Chains A and B, each alone.
Chain A
Amino acid sequence: MSRRGHVPAHRLAAAAAGRLGERDRRRISRHLERCRRCAAAGERIARARAAMDRIATAEPPDIGWEQIGVRLYWETSSARYAALRRERRPWWRRRAPLVAGGAGVLAAAAAAAVIALGARGGDGGGAAPVAAPAPATSPGAAADAPAERPPAPDERPAALAGVVTFARGEVLVDGAPLPLDALFDRSIAAGAELSTGGDGRLVVQFGHRSGLALEPDSRARLRRFDRGGIELEVDGVVELDLAPREPGQTFDVVAGRHRISVRGTAFRVDHRDGALEVACAHGRVVVSDGEREVALDGGHSLALLREVVLDRAARRPIDPARLARLEESLAAPLLPAWTEPRALFETSSRLEMAAAPGRRVRVDGAWVGEGSFALRVMSGRHHIQVADERGAWGPGAWIEAEPGGSQAARAADGGLVVAGARASASAVASAAAPDAPRRPAAGRREARRLRSAQLAAALDESSRARQCIEPLEKRDLAAGSRVLFDIGVNPDGSQGHLNVVESNVPSAVERCLRHLVDSVDLPAGPAATVRYEFAFE
């Protein structure tokens, strides 16, 4: 007994578990008969012990074992590890083969290095700004990180970059339709304008479990896209599924005069002809028009017609059937793991699916889309199933997604035909459907040669380069100085990205040379990614 004359809780538990001797047990029983407080405590402990027995035999909930398996393979694959190591090596340690003679046209070896280092976006014809690494949220990825890139001189928040994980129908980036190769091999960065046609759908992932889905006839522009904040301007319908953001990072969707602010949530914004509808599946968003604010919890929607003042009365609960539909449509096909876009390009694969319109398709047990589309998947084995006319899922087929490759699959009478991949016994005999045509390597080389020559003509004899290096020359330190740039040239002659790959000069000199390269206007021509080196003797 305790000092107050009651039985301590752990003694009651020991008695209930049969851990006490007969004498102690009898004493406690006698006490419980006359002490209501201890009897009540004993009852609670007995119920807790029963609950503990149930816990001991509880089965785990269904958590998508196949998807975890795919992620696991990708996490531990040597291809991913190699890509991450290459990507995260500090830039001052990177060594790329360069053409002899310093500045000028790149040799074929250097060109190969450019491709290998992942400068793929420029080849596709669009602007492909190379963003700073996106936050790697995967625990395994974090453990692998050998080094971080040095902070930018101007201390601005690091840029984020997204990748396309799903595309269907007409999809435009920066106003231009892109072939699948280019679309899937480029990163989406700040300033990008995404739009879809009447049959289009585009999903862009920009972090672990974070992505946006642009529905048909819609447009979205990434006004801001960095670790400090994300701002998305929307005209049409966009669905967002967001993991909780990093501390201090804001996420705003701008729809006309309204702003929808979020943390971690899944919601849909429909902004057409001035009318706005926001439906929040879970989490919480705040809609504001600059003067008023209305908070919207999960399971609620808010509809505003044009010129109608924002008001709490516009908030309505979503009926269960619609909420279920919303939940399903918000489940955008995102990659189950995340790392830097360039490493993703090298270690993920593109699946081009061809099925009749309206036929539902699922991969690894999760619904991903209908009809024909292209989907990014992690490398590894994937199980594809196509629903029949009645909506019943077929036996499906297995594909082997190789890192950096693409596979095609089409629904045919009697099963699924997988081309360019190992199919299981359930799959129909493999057909020789070719992969999507890639731009010939010779064309890319030619484009690079042309753009390099144009840059050399504009920069080789530049007096401004001398001015940039002047501070070093005055101190007799110019000899041996070098700065290597990686430049993405768009078809209209503008520069898509401009990165310093190697440099051994002070940051002020580097900035000066960077401005010089940035100021060069090239004529319209083929898109290419080239390197240019300033080497002073």
Chain B
Amino acid sequence: MLGVSRKTGREDAASPAAAQERADEAELVRRCRAGERAAQEELYRRHRRQVGANLYRVLGRRDDLDDLVQEVFVIAFRGLDRFRGEARLSTWLYRICVNVALARIRARARRPAPVPLTAAALEGSEAGAARAADPEQALSAKQDRERVYRALEAMPPKKRLVLYLHEIEGLDLKEIAYLVGAHPVTVRTRLFYARREFYRHIAGEDE
């Protein structure tokens, strides 16, 4: 059984509330497997914002976000038979998000980035909220955010994901190992080199 995580929503399985929640989830999964449409809608409604947020944060862009959210749920519905219930459904979905994001990062690396159509394509609700406050602060926050994503984009996809999951999402090695499907020792090695690369870029030593 995996450890507790603030991001993936796993919690103490022994508490009655958690046990009830897991039972509800198992029932929902059972109904989805049976092809019940209302259950699929319910699953989508429950998890759509979490999936959207995960993808948005890991990729840092809103363009194609709707396609990616759809892709995650299509994969989830088609693969629900393989969900064994060892992890929470949200964790399982997170794992799919990671794989979809990894595929997108790789695809993006293979072809030149399209010209953003509008500033909004690069910004999200977070930048928008910041903009509404103090313009100078907002600009600075936006530049810092862009710097972080530029540094991430300069990294190889696997390292990028590991660094993101650890340094930004705050997951531990074991959780990351489950999400990326690698051994924890591999994750630790990847993280070691990823940190060096990332912070060197952030510190401006590459420039």
Contacts and interface: CB of A to CB of B under 8 A. Distances in A.
A62 B125 CA distance: 8
Nearest to B200: A9
Interface SS, A side: helix
B53 A68 contact: no
Contact of B205 (A9, A48, A59, A78): A9
A8 B199 CA distance: 9
Given A9-B202, A58-B57, A76-B78, A68 B70 contact: yes
A201 B167 CA distance: 53
Interface stretch (B8-16, B60-68, B154-162, B172-180): B60-68
Contact of A51 (B74, B124, B144, B198): B144
Contact of A60 (B53, B147, B151): B53
Contacts of A298: 117
Interface residues of A, number: 43
Contacts of B45: 69
B55 to A, nearest CB: 8
A5 interface: no
B113 to A, nearest CB: 12
A63 B62 contact: yes
A69 B41 contact: yes
A150 B199 CA distance: 52
A140 B202 contact: no
A51 B145 contact: yes
Contact of B71 (A59, A63, A78, A140): A140
Given A73-B40, A283-B117, A44 B52 contact: no
B33 interface: no
Interface in A336-394: 381
B31 interface: no
B141 A51 contact: yes
Given A10-B196, A63-B52, A56 B57 contact: yes
Interface in B27-48: 35, 37, 40-41, 44-45, 48
Interface string A31-45: 000000000110011
B10 to A, nearest CB: 17
B135 interface: no
A57 B77 CA distance: 27
Contacts of B147: 44, 48, 51
Nearest to B7: A56
A61 interface: yes
Contact of A61 (B65, B70, B202): B65
B65 A48 contact: no
B56 A48 contact: no
Interface string A71-112: 111011010000000000000000000000000000000000
A52 interface: yes
Given A63-B69, A298-B117, A48 B204 contact: no
A8 B57 CA distance: 27
Contacts of A67: 66
- Give me the 7 closest cross-chain CB pairs, A-B, nearest first: A60-B52, A41-B203, A51-B144, A58-B126, A9-B199, A9-B203, A60-B56
Given A51-B141, A58-B53, A61-B124, 18 more contacts: A8-B196, A9-B205, A10-B195, A13-B199, A40-B204, A51-B145, A55-B148, A58-B124, A58-B126, A61-B56, A61-B128, A65-B49, A68-B69, A69-B48, A73-B41, A139-B74, A140-B70, A282-B117
Interface of A: 8-10, 12-13, 40-41, 44-45, 47-48, 50-52, 54-65, 67-69, 71-73, 75-76, 78, 139-140, 244, 264, 282-283, 298, 381
Interface of B: 7, 35, 37, 40-41, 44-45, 48-49, 52-53, 55-57, 60, 62, 65-67, 69-71, 73-74, 77-78, 114, 117-118, 124-126, 128, 130, 140-141, 144-145, 147-148, 151, 167-170, 195-196, 198-200, 202-205
